[in-house]
Amino acid sequence: MQFLHAAPRFLFFTGKGGVGKTSIACASALTLAASGKRVLLVSTDPASNVGQVFGIRIGNQITPVPAVPRLSALEIDPPGAAQAYRERIIGPARSVLADEVVRSMEEQLSGACTTEIAAFDEFTALLVDSELTRDYDHILFDTAPTGHTIRLLQLPGAWNDFLQAGQGDASCLGPLAGLDKQREQYAAAVAALADPQRTRLILVARAQAATLREVARTHEELAAIGLGQQHLVINGVLPATETADDPLAAAVQRREQAAIAAMPEALRDLPCEQIPLKAFDLVGLDALRQLLDNTTLGTSQTLPAEPALQAPSLAELVDEIAANGHGLVMLMGKGGVGKTTLAAAVAVELANRGLPVHLTTTDPAAHLSETLNGSLENLRVSRIDPHAATEAYRAQVMASKGAKLDDAGRALLAEDLRSPCTEEIAVFQAFSRAIREAGRQFVVMDTAPTGHTLLLLDATGAYHREIARQMSDSHLRFSTPMMQLQDPQQTKVLLVTLAETTPVLEAAGLQNDLRRAGIEPWAWVINNSLAAARPRSALLRQRAHNELKEIHAVATQHARRYALVPLLAEEPVGVERLRALSQPQD
């Protein structure tokens, strides 16, 4: 594999959930160890299954892998790191500050930013502490720091005093409070990441248009902050040999090749490799050693024909949604799981029943227009431009809060407003305007604000707390966007996932974030299911069989209600194909 040729000391494997980062990182570690190198494999993934892959218990300490000479592994526990991190910051304040202030600090440190920063804090030592890692030739990281985390760390240290003086309502600076002493170490770590002689990033994607768009954005974010040594790996590409007797497999293969041919310009100049789709679960040393072989390995067993799955369809969920005649429907989930398509499918199904629907998205309008491929009575479509919303929000904050500050304070406030959370908050404000329409019609939202954003808004006081304070002595009824999101009679959140281990675990994590913000997800939607599509190809049949465990986990452990949406042979573009997503399979 070219991305392992002349490998530098640090290799980071990054990409969205379910694309195969952990498997490729583990297989790369085996390859380097087999070549005589001493390797440390580090996972910062909250849903890490590195120990499961190797069949041993690892945990938050460097552990030799007995079956692989020269290989050790370490699993950083981000939630545990975040808890220790919070206590390190808040602990000294408990006996000094008022309880209300301490609670506010705890809320500010409860979101995803804190977990990211805490994980970075944990593995910073692996980048800069030569005593800790001197025995290793290569250190491989599964789940690299995001551009979001690194941009936060690059904000100036002076904001700490700025916050303590009560001059700023930070968008996401709370997680960084009290870390001035570590800034020198962080700067050294960021410098190591940006040094092409020491660090290489492997961007892992699937051969899907949406996933390639996501990884292009990651590439540009990381390149913009100096991490330019990047390779692209397109994982799980369906071989042409599987298409002969299976129309579904043939359609999938054509779709994948078209997505690769039309990949974003930003990715075209990167070194790129493709890894063929495998039928087997990538657990155990034998499977991992075969992963990076450019060969197709079919199913190792003859599977009986699977009976048709008796799972609820998307139309059954829409039946319940439609009963109220109006309301807010939010589709949430990680990148690449198909939120835009499913939002359009839900909106089309509601509109087809004669109900007025407003479908709104932060995706490019052209993409949504192409998905609908025409107009439909009762359906109105709009787009929120994240860039325009963010610029308007920055201007508003600078004109209001900035007007009360001196030049130095205004400069710090402007820097804070360049943090990555600013866009999330600005987009939420734009969404809030659409939320008000849900009292008289259906509003379906694609790319809804994450639990992380909602926690930030609820924790900082923002609009919701201020209105509640002002109205506390009044007999008038009032409602804020946050209250509407928390009301299951007004809002139904649908979590979108795939029937694969990592996307299901990530959706469960998002569900926990939402619950901390007082929002209970109404249903889960498992998208692009092979098990529901009943393929003929031996390879795809094996993968369909592997999905059953994850479908069962969603149905019995995670979701109060759920729907299963099959992988379609044809791209779900146009009203009729979108409606086909909603229908039960024969």
| CB-neighbour burial class of residue 249 (10 A; exposed 0-12, middle 13-18, buried 19+) | buried
β-sheet bridge partners, residue 329: 444, 492
CA dist 102 and 93 (Å) reads 7
Which residue shows structure tokens 């008289």?
A: 440
Annotated active-site residue 22? The verdict is yes
In three-state secondary structure terms, 205 is strand
Catalytic-labelled residue, pool 15, 16, 21, 327: 21
Instruction: Spell out the CATH class of 314-388+440-582.
Output: alpha beta
H, E, C per residue of 520-558: CCCEEEEEEEHHHHCCCCHHHHHHHHHHHHHHHHHHHHH
CB burial of residue 217 (10 Å; 0-12, 13-18, 19+): middle
Instruction: Give dist(CA 499, CA 211) in Å, integer.
Output: 16
C-alpha of 481 from chain center: 24
How many alpha carbons fall within 13 Å on the CB side of residue 322?
Answer: 17
**What pLDDT was estimated at residue 384?**
82
Q: How far is CA 508 from the centre of its chain?
A: 12
Contact 236, 540 (CB under 8 A): no
For 384, the 3-state DSSP assignment is coil
Task: Spot the catalytic one: 14, 17, 23, 327.
Answer: 23
- Pick the catalytic residue: 502, 529, 537, 582? 502
pLDDT in tens, the chain (586 residues): 889 999 999 998 988 777 888 889 999 999 999 999 999 999 876 556 677 777 778 877 889 998 899 999 988 877 777 788 788 778 877 888 788 777 777 766 766 667 777 777 777 778 777 777 889 999 998 875 666 566 655 655 554 555 455 555 555 555 555 555 566 777 787 788 888 999 999 999 999 888 898 889 889 888 887 888 999 999 999 999 999 889 999 999 999 999 999 999 999 999 999 999 988 777 678 878 888 876 544 444 556 666 667 899 999 999 999 999 999 999 988 777 888 889 999 999 999 999 999 998 876 544 556 666 666 889 988 888 888 888 988 898 889 888 888 888 888 778 777 776 677 777 777 777 778 888 889 999 887 566 556 655 554 444 444 445 544 554 555 456 777 888 888 899 999 999 988 789 889 988 988 888 788 999 999 999 999 999 999 999 999 998 999 999 999 999 999 999 999 988 887 788 888 887 765 5
pLDDT for the residue numbered 470: 47
DSSP characters over 474-519: --S----HHHHHH-TTTEEEEEEEESSHHHHHHHHHHHHHHHHTT-
- Single out the catalytic residue among 15, 17, 20, 174: 20
Q: Which amino acid is at 54?
A: F
Report DSSP state, residue 571: -
Query: Looking at 14, 15, 16, 18, which residue is catalytic?
Result: 18
Do residues 482 and 458 lie in contact, with contact meaning Cβ atoms separated by under 8 Å?
yes
pLDDT score at 253: 95
Known catalytic residue: 16?
Answer: no
Range 2-202+227-234+280-291 has CATH code 3.30.1490.20: no
Catalytic residue among 14, 15, 17, 22: 22
- Is 23 an active-site residue? yes
Domain range list for the chain = 2-202+227-234+280-291, 314-388+440-582
Q: Which residues of 397-427 are buried (b: 16+ CB within 10 A; e: fewer)?
A: beeebbeebeeebbebbebbbebbbbbbbbb
Please give the pLDDT value at position 154. Answer: 61
45 is catalytic: yes
- Could you give the CA distance from residue 443 to residue 328 in angstroms, rounded to a whole number? 5
The answer to whether domain 2-202+227-234+280-291 and domain 314-388+440-582 are alike in fold is: yes
CA 288/CA 275 separation, integer angstroms: 12
Q: Tokens for 155, please give them.
A: 């904000």
Q: Provide the phi-psi class of 574: left if phi over 0, else alpha when psi is between -120 and 50, else beta.
A: left
99 is catalytic: no
DSSP class per residue in 269-289: TS-EEEEE--SS---SHHHHH
- For 483, the token pair is 């209250």
Q: Name 151's Cβ contacts closer than 8 Å, sequence gap at least 6.
A: 221, 225, 418, 419, 420
Task: Specify the pairing of strand 71-75 against strand 63-64.
Answer: antiparallel
**Residue 550: closest CA among 514, 505, 510:** 505
Alpha-carbon gap, residue 516 to 181, rounded angstroms: 31
18 carries an active-site annotation: yes
User: Has 278 been annotated as catalytic?
Assistant: no
Which of 14, 45, 72, 168 is the catalytic position?
Answer: 45
Q: Which DSSP string do the residues of 414-467 spell out, in sequence order?
A: HHHTTSTHHHHHHHHHHHHHHHGGGGTSEEEESSPPPHHHHHHHHHS-HHHHHH
Using alpha carbons only, how large is the chain's radius of gyration in Å? 24
Give the number of other CB atoms < 10 A from CB of residue 531.
Answer: 25
Q: Which stretches does DSSP call E strand in 157-251?
A: 199-206, 230-237
Q: What is the pTM of this model?
A: 0.78
Sheet with 272-276, strands from edge to edge, namely 63-64, 71-75, 39-43, 138-142, 10-14, 199-206, 230-237, 272-276
